[in-house]
Structure 1
């Protein structure tokens, strides 16, 4: 599906914000039919919680630290240094410094700050590749950004045409295509890197679900982008499947670090003490030899179980994370799910996002594998 070089901004807004409409319709169905299993949900269970938490799981509250003082992650230089070392020593990246790494409470807060920071700098247009996480799309709409879609489809589609802006721009790139467990193609990142070098454009990488490769491969392709022009979002609580804690971090150009940190603090204030202490534990676990691989192997085994039992008849072959995009065997009226309309892509009728960590979702799909 070719994409014209100069797309219609009105149509691009319609395409992006139709994803929000699809989420709203799904929300109404979830309220109206609470007994139908929701196979696409964002929560889940896994057997590695105590393994990941270690002694932190049993630490009394009074041992966390001062309960009467604010606990700012950005005022914790040890944490920022540990994050930089994680990227340099474990993830195989080079020259990531503590002066680039801003930790905070959750990826949603950073989505807000990333867009607000650009807005306050005078940026009024965002170019994007689908999908865009719905909270980011909501802020783009709320702040009144003009949006330009520069890819004809989600990156795992067979033919994807890119029409990047000819001049200096702001590009929003979500990697991986998380709902299907597929990294953005290396060739796509190479094209964006070359374009960024030629135009001096800023790229925001929503890497909330990065560092979740099923085979432990690293580094992430987007680490090749110009660090002086790139903002990256990483979320260890997603990597470890521990959503009850709030911890994410942004890797930002050093020249913007102070301004970005100040804005983030003004928007969101200080995180909780438990979240800050957990952040240290999370980085420690991710820096270990096995990191999050036990959880990734668990998700991979769940996928193989569904496939071998013919609980799904077709699937986009995943290689990271714990979401699967596939066509279930069970009739669609037996469950609720997020389909391609939630992500701005085309095709794949009957496919649904499946949370491989949700036992109720797995049971629902397995129970219906012999259905007509």
Structure 2
């Protein structure tokens, strides 16, 4: 069974899509232009030589530590397979987590372990999904002996706070980066990971397990644009815009009786004051994300959207006056 995700569905692209965490200020003009100018007539370099050097320089790491991936989900599946193939049997997951971690573990027969010290593969995400906060056990988990992966999909969209792990700790874990969310280009699939200093053997194994050309020309163009100074400046400016929108969105929902949970990212979870008529909302072009599949039943995760979307949401959530004949 495929995982549960936000975004377009059988009805198409929602007009007001609160169900995804993409940067609502986007798409990033520089990255979009690069994607539009990409050459789809030719294969990319199968070794992604220039791209891997650019990513390594951006993060200040050795190029051997860069592993490209078709998407975050593809990397999740591949590294889970690698751990299982090497004899790993147990996985540790946060109490609330992206469903693909557990889905990949189930596919490869890894059993969920409650004690991080007993796990062969351990997952972290910060800012975490769905709450958008720090992982409570991030430092303790990062020190374990298994393969530890820190999913940093939302780090570029962090609106407050900072990463719980310092530079030394980050060098001991795998870092998974998915820039398409920050750039507002989630339809372009492309990601990469930074191997820990002690993880070069596994990095080579992951490269051997990859299909030919995991990244197409458009993904290469997006990732090359991601590391450029002008795109990073745009991203910094977009975060300032998102901070204002987030403040307004939380205030709006609070006035409507919603209980909003704290978050450091461009999304947050909230409990509605009553059951929602989801089909009616979807018919009005509004889509929210039920966080049941993320381990948090009874709540909704809402990406931060601009004022027009917030106004549409407020209008749809207003109690309807009864009419009598």
Pair in the same fold by TM > 0.5: yes
Equivalent residues of 1:233, 1:249 under 8 A apart: yes
1:156 is matched with: none
- Structure 2: gaps of 5 or more residues: 282-286, 321-325
1:143 is matched with: 108
- State the shift of 1:106 in Å: 1.6
1:7 is matched with: none
1:191 is matched with: 140
Q: Could you say if the C-alpha distance between residues 86 and 220 of structure 1 is closer, same or farther in structure 2, counting changes exceeding 3 Å?
A: farther
- State the shift of 1:189 in Å: 2.6
Q: Could you say if the C-alpha distance between residues 212 and 122 of structure 1 is closer, same or farther in structure 2, counting changes exceeding 3 Å?
A: same
Equivalent residues of 1:113, 1:263 under 8 A apart: yes
Aligned CA-pair RMSD:
3.7
Q: Could you say if the C-alpha distance between residues 282 and 338 of structure 1 is closer, same or farther in structure 2, counting changes exceeding 3 Å?
A: same
For the residues of structure 2 that align with 1:296 and 1:241, how far apart are their CA atoms?
12
For the residues of structure 2 that align with 1:137 and 1:171, how far apart are their CA atoms?
11
1:315 is matched with: 260
Q: Is 1:272–2:216 an aligned residue pair?
A: yes
Q: Could you say if the C-alpha distance between residues 357 and 262 of structure 1 is closer, same or farther in structure 2, counting changes exceeding 3 Å?
A: farther
TM-score (normalizing by structure 1): 0.69
1:327 aligned to which of 256, 271, 275: 271
1:85 is matched with: 57
2:195 is matched with: 252
1:341 aligned to which of 292, 302, 317: 292
Q: Is 1:171–2:145 an aligned residue pair?
A: no
For the residues of structure 2 that align with 1:365 and 1:231, how far apart are their CA atoms?
38
Stretch moving more, 40-49 or 238-247: 40-49
- State the shift of 1:239 in Å: 2.0
- Structure 1: gaps of 5 or more residues: 1-19, 89-95, 151-163
2:29 is matched with: 51
Q: Could you say if the C-alpha distance between residues 326 and 312 of structure 1 is closer, same or farther in structure 2, counting changes exceeding 3 Å?
A: farther
**Number of residues of Structure 1 aligned to a counterpart in Structure 2:** 309
- State the shift of 1:86 in Å: 2.4
1:298 is matched with: 241
SS in 1 for 2:83: helix
Equivalent residues of 2:27, 2:185 under 8 A apart: yes
Superimposed CA distance per residue, residues 168-226 of structure 1 (whole angstroms, 9 cap, x where no aligned partner): 743222222222322324xx333334x52xxx3331222222232215x6556275436
- State the shift of 1:300 in Å: 2.5
SS in 1 for 2:295: coil
- State the shift of 1:233 in Å: 0.8
Q: Is 1:130–2:95 an aligned residue pair?
A: yes
For the residues of structure 2 that align with 1:172 and 1:180, how far apart are their CA atoms?
16
Q: Is 1:42–2:20 an aligned residue pair?
A: yes
Equivalent residues of 1:172, 1:206 under 8 A apart: yes
1:211 is matched with: 156
